[in-house]
Each structure stands twice: as structure tokens, then as C-alpha cells.
Amino acid sequence: MRKNTSRKPDNANAAGGGEDPREVAPGTLEERVAELEKQVAELEAAATVRSDQIATLTTERDTWQLKATSVYDQYLRAKADMDGYRKRSERDFEDRLDRSKADYLRSVLDVLDNFERFLEAAEKSGQEGRERGFDAFFKGVSMVHRQLMDTLAREGVEPIEDSVGKQMDPAFHEAVVAQDGGEHGVVLAELQKGYVYKGLVLRATKVKVAR
């Protein structure tokens, strides 16, 4: 029996004898390429516009950043000036306060001197026998004297260290009497006690020194 070797027609050809879809007319291909080139050109133009916008925004950002840095530097300088002014004002106020207080404390020292003169004289005169009433009065005055010394100490006032038998220190002592005998410049006696206020000499100790 003889086999049939003839090929069956393709479906497309069988359906109506149409063209192969892979085959594109030359005119249609050129139009497609032109359309793609147009799209590429539009994208490149858009990218250029975006690039220009980015450059503009970057420039504006840098400009405002410089302005912000300048303003912040001005703020820091102004703040430093204000801090310095405040500290100077506080120091000036404290200095004026200390000077005013020092003037007041010097007047208090005169009262303290009178207390000590009275106590010294009363103690010397009463060593040979004191009446009971005077003894109580003496103790009361001594107590007031101690309270006054404690109050001055709390304010920063302290007596200058006893200098008898030591070389006179001009920073703390004022020589008001000089006499022969002993080593030159040695303090022989204290005539008026000196005091310091917060480490500064409030009143120098008046002393008698050897020539």
C-alpha cells in the first residue's frame, strides 16, 4: 500500500493563506525605530531637566547651609560674650560686696579691740581677788567675745598668726615701733592684732620690731 507523503498546510495558510507574523514591513519597522528614538530623546531631555533641577537645589542647599553655619557661629560668639559679661558682672558684684563687707568688718574689729582691752584689763585687775558679781559679769563679756569671734570666723575673718619672736612679714605686719635689742626685723611685741578676710589682709598686725 502506498503512503501519502504530502505535507499538510499550516493552520494559518489553511485558514486564509495569511502572512507570517514575524515578517514586518520595512515601513512599519522604520516607524517603530523612529518612535523609540523619540522616546529616548524625550527621556534624555527629561533627565537633563532633572539634572539641572538637582544642581539648582544642591546650590541652594549649600547656600543655606553656609548661612546657617554663619548664623550659628554668630550665636556661639554672642553666647560666649554674654557668658563672659555675666561672669565679669558676678565677679565685679562680689568684689564690690566684699569691699563693702570689708569696710563694715573693719569697724567691727574696733569693737572687738575694745572687748579684748576690757577683758585683758579686767583679768589683770581681778587676779588678786574678784567679787562674785564681777566674776559673773566677766564671764558674760567673755562669752559675748567668743560669739563675736565665731561670727567673724563664719564670715571668713580670721586673726593673723602670732608673730612674736619671728621675722616681720610686710605682707601681714605693720611696724609702728622699733627699738634696739634682738635680731634685726624680729617682732618683739604685737600692739594690735591683725586679721585676714577670705585670705586677704583686712587689717595688718601692728608690731614692735627690733632695729
For the full predicted model, state whether its pTM sits above 0.85.
Answer: no
Helix %, strand %, coil % of the chain (to 5): 60, 15, 25
Phi, psi of 126 (to 5 degrees): -100, 5
Alpha carbon distance 165, 211 (integer Å): 14
pLDDT in the model for residue 38? 83
Alpha carbon distance 106, 197 (integer Å): 10
pLDDT in the model for residue 26? 55
Q: What is the pLDDT of residues 152-209, one digit of tens each?
A: 888 888 899 988 999 999 999 999 998 887 788 899 999 988 999 888 888 899 999 9
Q: What is the pLDDT of residues 109-157, one digit of tens each?
A: 877 888 787 777 777 666 555 565 677 677 778 888 888 888 888 888 8
Closest residue by Cα to residue 159 from 129, 188, 180, 190: 190
Closest residue by Cα to residue 114 from 139, 148, 163, 137: 148
Alpha carbon distance 205, 163 (integer Å): 9
